[in-house]
Amino acid sequence: MNGEFLQAIEQIAREKGIKQEILFEAIDAALVTAYKKNYGTSQNVKVAISRETGDVEVYAKKTVVEALEDELLEISIEDAKSINRNYEIGDIIEIKVTPKNFGRIAAQTAKQVVVQRIREAERSNVYEEFINKEDEIVNGLVQRKEKNNVFIDLGKTEAVLGPNEQTPGEAYNLGDRLKTYVVEVKKTTKGPQVMLSRTHPGLVKRLFELEVPEIKDGIVEIKSISREAGSRTKMAVFSHDENIDAVGACVGQRGQRVQVIVDELRGEKIDIIEWSNDLTIFVASALSPAKVIKVSINKEENTANVVVSDSQLSLAIGKEGQNARLAAKLTGCKIDIKSESQALSLN
């Protein structure tokens, strides 16, 4: 332990973003353990590393007593006064007890502690970076597949795309570049675990924020999204500027903006509708592309009774009920759809 050691500590602290004092404190504590392991656990000792020279000294802490009972922890008043006449009973004296070969033990122990602290600091830095990316999009490369999980290389760490977060029908090939949504970041004994999703509605929202400046600037607001990943998404948008068309801004010139997102989602259909605080209008719009004749709202039961022409019924309901199901999620109310002839037969 010498000047080279101090230089190494300084360099490591600078490169890894760890405070030097944190490293020194960790090494001090580890050296106390190393000393007790080699020279007896009953002693009360402290280790001091000179921040100027790197020299290591071990001190035994002993209490001044009148009658000596435990020489490892105590020192008689007579012996204490032979060191310094000002010592009194009850004082704590530090006596240097550094073994001759302790430098070698200290060097080995310090190396182990520094390596461990570097790992801990790097894991902590990665956690702090990615905890701030929860609910955000990250770019990564498909690295490997294991037990239905897809592992994504995010550069500083490897993240997990679990089976329930994978879009049905999507193939994840090694080396594919992928945009994913950070669902959760967990602390584990092996470091931070980043959980990703390709199915979360938030992925669609963040993709539109990246592609549509009006959304990023807060002029156009995404009010709600309902999604069945890999198949269809419905998104309700609202413009805070009457001169800006919310739907048009999201679609883009010749549909370029929405097409970028459809391509990223590998062909998933996206319906963009205008949000309205009038639930009657909102429900009618949410059932697009079907054309609605009438909407009756029951606020107490939070239901909407919808009438469409006979030719529009299957379109309004959608394949396997998907269009109606997504519209219900989007608007937050239960939707009951009937054709004109069905409605007339009930009257």
pLDDT, tens digit (0-9, with 9 covering 90-100), for 292-333? 999 999 999 999 999 999 999 999 999 999 999 999 999 999
135-197 CATH fold: OB fold (Dihydrolipoamide Acetyltransferase, E2P) (2.40.50)
- At residue 2, the pLDDT reads 64
In which residue ranges of the chain is CATH 2.40.50.140 found?
135-197
Neighbours of 66 (CB within 10 A): 10
Residue 126 · residue 192 · CB < 8 Å: yes
For residue 336, list its beta bridge partners.
305
Backbone conformation region of residue 155, classed left if phi is above 0, alpha if psi is from -120 to 50, else beta: left
- At residue 35, the pLDDT reads 84
- At residue 196, the pLDDT reads 97
- At residue 124, the pLDDT reads 83
The tally of CA atoms less than 13 A away on the side-chain side of residue 59 is: 12
The CATH number of the domain covering residues in 287-347: 3.30.300.20
DSSP 203-244: HHHHHHHHH-HHHHTTSEEEEEEEEETTTEEEEEEEESSTTS
**From CA 328, how far away is CA 319, in angstroms rounded?**
15
pTM equals 0.72
Closest-CA residue to 12 (of 24, 30, 29): 24
200-275 CATH fold: GMP Synthetase; Chain A, domain 3 (3.30.300)
3-126 CATH fold: N Utilization Substance Protein A; Chain:P; domain 4 (3.30.1480)
Amino acid found at 177? R
**From CA 137, how far away is CA 126, in angstroms rounded?**
16
pLDDT above 90 (res 128): no
Q: SS3 for 235?
A: strand
pLDDT above 70 (res 1): no
Of all residues in the chain, the percent with pLDDT exceeding 70 is 99
**pLDDT tens digits for 210-219?**
999 999 999 9
- At residue 31, the pLDDT reads 86
Structure tokens at 36: 């007790």
Amino acid found at 203? L
In which residue ranges of the chain is CATH 3.30.300.20 found?
200-275, 287-347
Strand 269-274 relative to strand 232-239: parallel, antiparallel, unpaired? parallel
In which residue ranges of the chain is CATH 3.30.1480.10 found?
3-126
